[in-house]
Amino acid sequence: MLAYTIMNSASGVLIDRLGTKLGYALCILWWSVATLLHALATGVWSLGAFRFLLGIGEAGNWPAGVKVVAEWFPENERALASGLFNSGSAAGAILAPPLIVWIILRYGGNHRLCLWA
């Protein structure tokens, strides 16, 4: 949450300066690389660092998403577009935990990082 707090405003400035497409693309690239780094975590400190990096990139999603809706949708469709955009993160939060559990049970996982191991 600290990374989100710091980067929500900073990423908004970045997106305003670079434009929606490039700014959003850079946030997604950062977010994606930070997500990949999680596979390299060897303990709580590296996992925490990678989570922080993830928050830096992911924070740009919200200012960019709002700007995309404002730029690309007519005024009378913006509420629906915003609702769909915001419901995507809620759907991900609902679907990800059981999917992750299934993947770990099916394919195994790094049990050193599991809190219950």
Q: What is the DSSP string of 51-107?
A: HHHHHHHHTTHHHHHHHHHHHHS-GGGHHHHHHHHHHHHHHHHHHHHHHHHHHHHHH
In a domain, 88, yes or no: yes
In this prediction, residue 117 has a pLDDT band, given cuts at 50, 70 and 90, of: very low
pTM of the model: 0.71
In this prediction, residue 53 has a pLDDT band, given cuts at 50, 70 and 90, of: very high
State which residues form the domain around 19: 2-107
In a domain, 38, yes or no: yes
pLDDT for res 110: 60
16: Cβ contacts below 8 Å, ≥ 6 apart: 23, 67
The structural domain count of the chain equals: 1
